[in-house]
């Protein structure tokens, strides 16, 4: 066939707002559209259906790599497996319709085709007028004057979620703009976007005034953007917005995004205004992308930089109780809960939850915990996870990965020996803490660096001895009495107190110590305090001794 299987007439059809399944087209050219930085890079394609030429096709960003790897050269024949259309620059002259290619299959390599098929002619940008009268519910055509309150949104949405197939839906879709096309220079737009995350309501009070706000991160095929709602808009939309749902949104104010506060791939962010209209799109399934996760094995978190963002899915192996305390620096009352997550990389990581997240966590169950955009932080050489503004936590999500990790956990994983990437060793994750004598600690010059170093040792050391400070909690643990009891003994029952202190003399413990050079005037001195104390595990200690003996003598080594 001379058309080489191209779907002749496809382009004219989509310009009418019709949809066709799996059209086949030929690529005749491509062009890189530079955004600000690689994150907003886009590729525009010149395509042909054998009859018409069309230059407003764009690759969804997740297909950018195909273009970069030169998999889509001139003359390539592709099948478009999934696409959406959007209208940009709609005005008196008509509209410009953009075809966004979301999934494609290369049917024949360009070099094998080697020529332009047929004699396709350029399409005009102004096809037949869209049927405006059929779409009273489109946010863009519905003046804000008549849509000023939240109550009307539900009913206004009816024609978009109607039962009959096809046309109704494509009317709604035909009027939406890709998020990646939005800029502050153009305010006539409607986006159709899925909510990825939603913050809580936060209030502020400063020199400029006070108020409240919430923000949400939304996405479509083309990209993502943050939307913030202040004061009235916060009240109006907070309850309405639900994570994962799809909404039509129009008439927000765009401004350059402050990259310091977001990792979203967009140069802009937006703020809702009095004119903003938000409508839920109730039948968006299939036409909208699902939220994408880039799960990383927990073991890999060990190698990540502090402040990196990460998606993780793991089993909750342990959850502490909620601890309430006053932050020493800020004086704030804080509530936190530490969750231990494990996965089949045989690693665990601490997730710190705060406030209501901590309170509401179902600690008595073993949920699968999904984190999107969790933040990596570092403490004492170990890595842990926390949630920030754009982070999402889901429990027991119905995802294959979630079932997998539960399967692993329930078939031995819960008993598996895992190494903690959160261990505060100062060394690589998973490497057990180094055992040192006092002499070795001195030789290594521990404590000389900026950061305190950690080391373990055995009291009763054969090389030396040292005064070590033991703070409240550990002292209570060692002495088996509360600090109040010890304090009152010291004051009123000196003999009792002395007995108490003598009782732990010559006892063996395993200590983890912190040492740091501090200056007393000109004099540098290593100040050492205990970080943890535990009874001697003779099995473990014997293993260490045997290993040392083997290393010294060479006996029993392979």
Partner DNA sequence: CCCCCCCC
**List of residues contacting DNA (CB under 7 A):** 199, 202, 204, 206, 208-209, 211, 213, 215, 228, 230-231, 255, 258, 261-262, 269, 271, 273, 325, 327-330, 332, 334, 336, 352, 354-355, 375, 377, 379, 384, 386-389
Q: What are phi and psi of 177, to 5 degrees?
A: -110, 145
Q: At closest approach, how far in Å is the CB of 140 from DNA?
A: 21
Q: Which is nearer to DNA, 29 or 389 (CB)?
A: 389
Q: How far is the CB of 243 from DNA (least distance, A)?
A: 16
- Would you say 11 or 339 has its CB closer to DNA? 339
Collapsing DSSP to helix, strand or coil, 478 comes out as helix
Q: Which helix (H) or strand (E) holds 371?
A: strand 368-379
Least spacing, CB of residue 388 vs DNA, in Å: 4
On whether the CB atoms of residues 49 and 117 are closer than 8 A, the answer is no
Stated as kind and residue range, the H or E segment containing 151 is none
Q: Residue 279 in contact with residue 159, Cβ under 8 Å?
A: no
CA nearest to 171, candidates 182, 159, 179:
159
Partners of 80 in the beta sheet? 104
Nearer to DNA, 356 or 551 (CB): 356
Query: Which is closer to DNA, CB of 336 or CB of 527?
Result: 336
Closest contact distance (angstroms) between CB of 529 and DNA is 11
Joined tokens for residue 206: 């400063």
DSSP 8-class letter at 111: H
Report the residue number, 39 or 64, with the smaller CB distance to DNA.
Answer: 39
**Three-class SS of 374-404:** EEEEEECCEEEEECCCCCEEEECCCCHHHHH
Q: Closest distance between DNA and the C-beta of residue 209, in Å?
A: 6
Closer Cβ to DNA, 208 or 539, answer by number: 208
Q: Do residues 101 and 79 touch, judged by C-beta distance below 8 A? A: no
Geometric angle at alpha carbon 285, from 283 and 291, rounded to 5°: 135
In 3D, which of 298, 391, 315 has the Cα closest to residue 349?
298
Nearer to DNA, 332 or 539 (CB): 332
Cα–Cα distances in angstroms (integers) from residue 486 to residues 489, 491, 503, 530, 543, in the given order: 5, 9, 13, 19, 36
The residue (of 309 and 399) whose beta carbon lies closer to DNA is: 309
Which of 21, 206 has the CB closer to DNA? 206
CB 33 within 8 A of CB 11: no
Question: Contact 447/515 with Cβ under 8 angstroms?
Answer: yes
Smallest separation, CB 307 to DNA (Å): 9
Q: Exposed e or buried b for every residue in 332-357, given b needs 16+ CB within 10 A?
A: eeeebbbbbbbbbbbbbbbbbbeeeb
We find the least distance from the C-beta atom of residue 181 to DNA, in angstroms, to be: 21
Shortest Å, Cβ 525 to DNA: 22
- Extended beta strands in 34-153, E state: 42-48, 52-59, 77-91, 94-108, 121-122
> Can you tell me whether residue 255 is helix, strand or coil?
strand
Dihedral through CA 17, CA 19, CA 24, CA 26, nearest 10?
10
Interacting residues of 141 by C-beta distance below 8 A, sequence separation 6+:
132, 135, 175
Q: Tell me the closest approach of the beta carbon of residue 31 to DNA, in angstroms.
A: 32
CB of 387 to DNA, least distance (A): 6
C-beta closer to DNA: residue 166 or 200: 200
* Alpha carbon distance 296, 314 (integer Å): 10
Q: Where are the alpha helices (DSSP H) in 160-256?
A: 167-174, 231-237
CA distance linking residue 521 with residue 324, whole number of Å = 38
Q: Which is nearer to DNA, 57 or 234 (CB)?
A: 234
Q: How far is the CB of 211 from DNA (least distance, A)?
A: 5
Closer to DNA by CB, 106 or 309: give it. Answer: 309
419 alpha-carbon distance from chain centroid: 23
Beta carbon of residue 329, minimum distance to DNA (angstroms, whole number): 5
Quote the least distance from Cβ 227 to DNA, whole Å: 9
Give the residue with the Cβ less far from DNA, 334 or 543.
334
């Amino acid at each position: 066939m001379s058309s080489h299987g191209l779907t002749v007439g496809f382009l004219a059809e989509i310009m009418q707002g019709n949809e066709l399944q799996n059209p086949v087209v030929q690529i005749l050219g491509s062009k890189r559209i530079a955004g600000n930085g690689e994150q907003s890079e886009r590729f525009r394609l010149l395509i042909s259906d054998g009859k018409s030429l069309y230059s407003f096709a764009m690759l969804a960003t997740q297909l950018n790599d195909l273009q970069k790897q030169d998999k889509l050269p001139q003359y390539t024949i592709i099948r478009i497996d999934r696409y959406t259309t959007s209208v940009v620059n709609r005005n008196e002259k008509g509209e410009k319709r953009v075809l966004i290619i979301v999934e494609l299959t290369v049917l024949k390599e360009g070099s094998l085709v080697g020529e332009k098929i047929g004699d396709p002619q350029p399409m005009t940008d102004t096809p037949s007028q869209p049927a405006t009268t059929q779409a009273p519910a489109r946010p863009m055509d519905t003046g804000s004057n008549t849509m000023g309150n939240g109550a009307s949104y539900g009913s206004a949405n009816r024609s978009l979620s109607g039962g009959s197939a096809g046309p109704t839906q494509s009317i709604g879709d035909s009027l939406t703009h890709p998020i990646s096309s939005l800029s502050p220079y153009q305010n006539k737009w409607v986006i159709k976007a899925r909510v990825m995350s939603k913050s809580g309501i936060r209030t502020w009070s400063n020199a400029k005034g006070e108020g409240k706000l919430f923000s949400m991160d939304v996405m479509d095929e083309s990209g993502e953007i943050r939307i913030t709602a202040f004061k009235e808009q916060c009240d109006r939309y907070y309850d309405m917005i639900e994570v994962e749902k799809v909404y039509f949104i129009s008439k927000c104010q765009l401004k350059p995004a402050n990259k310091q506060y977001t990792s979203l791939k967009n140069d802009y962010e937006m703020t809702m205004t009095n004119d903003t209209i938000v409508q839920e799109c109730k039948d968006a399934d299939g036409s909208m992308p699902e939220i994408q996760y880039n799960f990383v094995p927990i073991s890999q978190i060990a190698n990540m930089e502090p402040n990196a963002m990460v998606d993780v899915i793991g089993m909750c192996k342990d959850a502490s109780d909620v601890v309430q305390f006053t932050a020493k620096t800020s004086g704030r009352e804080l509530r936190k809960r530490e969750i231990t997550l494990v996965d089949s990389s045989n690693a665990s990581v601490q997730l710190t939850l705060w406030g209501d997240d901590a309170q509401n966590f179902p600690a008595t169950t073993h949920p699968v915990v999904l984190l999107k955009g969790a933040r990596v932080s570092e403490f004492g050489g170990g890595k842990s996870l926390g949630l920030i503004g754009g982070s999402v936590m889901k429990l027991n999500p119905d995802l294959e990965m979630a079932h997998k990790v539960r399967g692993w956990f329930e078939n031995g994983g819960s008993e598996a020996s895992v190494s903690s990437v959160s261990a505060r060793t100062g060394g690589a994750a998973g490497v057990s803490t180094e055992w040192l004598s006092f002499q070795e600690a001195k030789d290594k010059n521990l404590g000389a660096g900026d950061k305190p170093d950690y080391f373990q040792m055995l009291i009763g050391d054969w090389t030396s001895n040292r005064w070590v400070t033991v703070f409240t909690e550990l002292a209570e643990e060692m002495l088996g009495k509360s600090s109040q009891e010890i304090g009152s003994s010291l004051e009123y029952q000196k003999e009792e107190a002395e007995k108490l202190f003598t009782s732990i003399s010559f006892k063996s413990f395993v200590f983890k110590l912190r040492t740091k050079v501090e200056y007393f005037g000109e004099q540098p001195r290593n100040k050492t305090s205990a970080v943890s104390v535990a009874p001697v595990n003779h099995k473990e200690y014997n293993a260490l001794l045997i290993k040392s003996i083997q290393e010294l003598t060479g006996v029993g080594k392979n």
